[in-house]
Chain A
Amino acid sequence: MKQTSVRAGRRAGIDMKIKIAELVFEFDVKYPYTAKLCRDYVVPDTEKTDIRIYNDENYEKELEACPDYPLPLLESLHIYRAICTEIVKYDGFLIHSSAVVLDGKAYIFAAPSGTGKSTHTGLWCEYFPSDRVYIINDDKPIIRKTDKFRVYGTPWCGKAKISKNTSADIQGICLLRRGKENKINRLDFSKALVPFMNQVYRCPDEEYTNGLLRLLDEFSSVCGFYELYCNISHEAVRVAYEGMSGKKIEEETK
């Protein structure tokens, strides 16, 4: 890895070394917010850095576009965007989704903000016994291919800050939609492609775009895609689980 240690006008900051999706990222931040957010992911300084992120403070310009966002939050999101832009070179990508793990398999629910992803996966945690289920990341998990594609917890995980520093095999990707009735369909990738890609982090860079599309091409050949129409109920959980796992829920599970 190419590393440059001296920058012009370097100011006092908090040096961070964190491990996400089996990669060590190094960066520094001005505000303690990000440091606190990342505390479960910090690794000792002795670990070799895979990717150095430069905090160019461009986020300060974003304040004009989002005046309601405090600077520490903008800095944090800026760092995560940089991480997600770099990680594509290591076969990883961010999917805007809530990912729930049941019996070791991740069920990933993707949808635009406000659809009810967290509400739905929250119901999974209510429905299944707590020793079988947990949320690995409630809003912005990373999927990365090492020997195969797996989903990873990350410090950035939405408002409720629900995440776990671990990884899980992927059962499937489910596009979540509100409905009166609960119904799940398996989707051909051609049908899932656009709504799925709309929830995948993208940046305008052509090299990034090429890398991402190559990765998604491979991912689409090994992952199952579904669409779920659902209301807020335990029946929605049963329909989603049975549709994606191909298993039936026995009465005594409950």
Chain B
Amino acid sequence: MKTKSGFILRAVGDNYIIVPVGAEAQKFNGIIKLNSTGKFLWEKLEKGTSEEELVKTLVAEYEIDEETAKKDVEAFVKKAVSSNLVE
């Protein structure tokens, strides 16, 4: 799983947002705000990874239990898929 190339992650103030550019912006011109976990996951997804890998890195990075990490990743991926941000 990987983020689509037409979506870029940027910081504005203390916030992280995803903005569509190019052809993606013609289809969807909204803005998606991410929290710090979202930003962390997005950066992993930019390089391409699997859901299992995301859970592992999240557990390692935030020192949370696997179950919580799994829930967070599932929710994030579900949103990313339904918003058409990943392929």
Contact = CB atoms under 8 A, between A and B. Distances in A.
Interface of A: 189-190, 193-194, 197-198, 202-206, 209-210, 213, 216-217, 220-221
A204 B20 contact: yes
A207 to B, nearest CB: 9
Given A216-B12, A217-B11, A193 B17 contact: yes
**Interface residue SS majority, chain A:** helix
A67 B49 CA distance: 46
Nearest to B33: A194
B12 A217 contact: yes
Interface residues of B, number: 20
A139 B6 CA distance: 30
Interface string B11-38: 1111101011111111001110100000
B60 interface: no
B41 to A, nearest CB: 19
Contacts of A217: 11-13
14 contacts: A189-B15, A190-B14, A190-B15, A193-B13, A194-B31, A204-B24, A204-B26, A205-B21, A205-B22, A206-B21, A209-B10, A209-B19, A217-B13, A221-B13
A197 B21 contact: no
B81 interface: no
B31 to A, nearest CB: 5
Nearest to B10: A213
Nearest to B30: A198
A217 B13 CA distance: 5
B12 A193 contact: yes
